[in-house]
Amino acid sequence: MKPLPGLTELRQGGKRALSRMLTRLETEAQTDEISAFLDHACANAMGRVLGLTGPPGVGKSTLTDALIRHFRATDLSVAVLAIDPSSQFTGGALLGDRTRLQTDPGDQDVFVRSMAARDRLGGLSDHAIAAIALLRSVVDRVIVESVGIGQSEGDLVQACDTLVLCIQPGSGDSLQFMKAGIMELPDVVAVTKADMGAAARRAASDVAGALSLSRETQSHWQVPVCEISARTGEGLDDLAEAIAKHGDFLEASGELQSQRAEQQRHWLRDMVRADFGTAGLAVVGEMLETDTGERPFSCFQGISKDLKRRLEDGQA
């Protein structure tokens, strides 16, 4: 097996190096070497991770396109991870080539990859989590785009620093999201297609109302509601500013570190649950409680080997 590249090499290696590394994360998953690499990446995260969710057709990919252009205009490198809910069934035909994203193929600082969702609802697979850990240690901004239909947002919130929920005018989405408890999750809300006029204004005020009912008042972050039109460009600067402000807020308050540590603990529990079920979780419960979230991937390797040994010995 070829030795793994270092992070500096990947940061300078352009899209092909990154693409190759992502493939290795999948084909060599759960080896000691890859796990140690991913933990090292976690400890050296340099970029911010932006989650973009909302129902199909709300305008996520159009917005992703606009955000890529915005970030590139300020010379930030960008990676997009599109979580494709269909690919398990169609081999990635729905979003596979991301033809809707109009990126410059020659630009080495824009990287786009789509990945299968864990299930039909758009949950994140272990591969997607590993990819996010890698990408945020190599590029300045990672955009994770995922279809949200009421259940996958919880998964996304465990993998990004700033979650943007997209809502479409005239859809009644905000009411539905409030019922499903989703309004508690976003850090920024984008009401898309603001060029639709009055319907967009109404949606924005509905969302503001729903937010005020569902959020804890003691939070230090006030969730901004931005009306945007990717078509006319209206509101895009405000949205980008709100996203940047949330990132600054996380860094300045120290929440970025604690939030990521908590997410990494969640990944570890999630990986154990996915492979060994709740019974496996119960066996290693105490071990997980003392975990600080610093080395989730290697820790999982250790736990996985231990549990497999116990299963073979008939102890678990």
Interface residues toward ligand GDP, by CB under 6 A:
54, 56-62, 100, 192-193, 195-196, 229-231
CB count within 10 Å of CB 71 equals 21
Task: Kindly give, in sequence order, each residue whose CB lies less than 8 Å from that of residue 200, ignoring residues fewer than 6 positions away.
Answer: 169, 191, 193, 194, 227
* CA distances (Å), origin 116, targets 142, 183, 187, 268: 17, 25, 25, 20
* Contact (Cβ atoms closer than 8 angstroms) between residue 300 and residue 269: no
Cβ nearer to ligand GDP, comparing 149 with 208: 149
Give the shortest CB-226-to-ligand GDP separation in angstroms: 12
> What minimum distance in Å lies between the beta carbon of 66 and ligand GDP?
9
CB of 52 to ligand GDP, least distance (A): 9
Instruction: Select from 109, 115, 110, 108 the least CA-distant residue to 94.
Output: 115
Q: Which is nearer to ligand GDP, 77 or 229 (CB)?
A: 229
Give 56 or 209: the residue with its C-beta nearer to ligand GDP: 56
- Two tokens, residue 41: 């990446």
How far is 25 from 131, CA to CA, in rounded Å? 8
Name the minimum Å distance from CB 139 to ligand GDP. Answer: 21
Beta strands 78-84 and 110-116: pairing type?
parallel
Closest separation between CB of residue 114 and ligand GDP, Å? Answer: 12
Residue whose C-alpha is closest to residue 50's, from 215, 204, 131, 165:
165
Look at residues 145, 214, 154 and name the one whose alpha carbon lies nearest to residue 179: 214
Q: By C-beta, is 158 or 229 nearer to ligand GDP?
A: 229
Centroid of chain to Cα 224: 19
Output the smallest distance, CB 123 to ligand GDP, in A.
17
Nearer to ligand GDP, 202 or 310 (CB): 202
CB 231 to ligand GDP: min, Å: 4
Cβ proximity to ligand GDP, 169 vs 296, nearer residue: 169
Specify the residue, 128 or 190, whose C-beta has the smaller distance to ligand GDP: 190
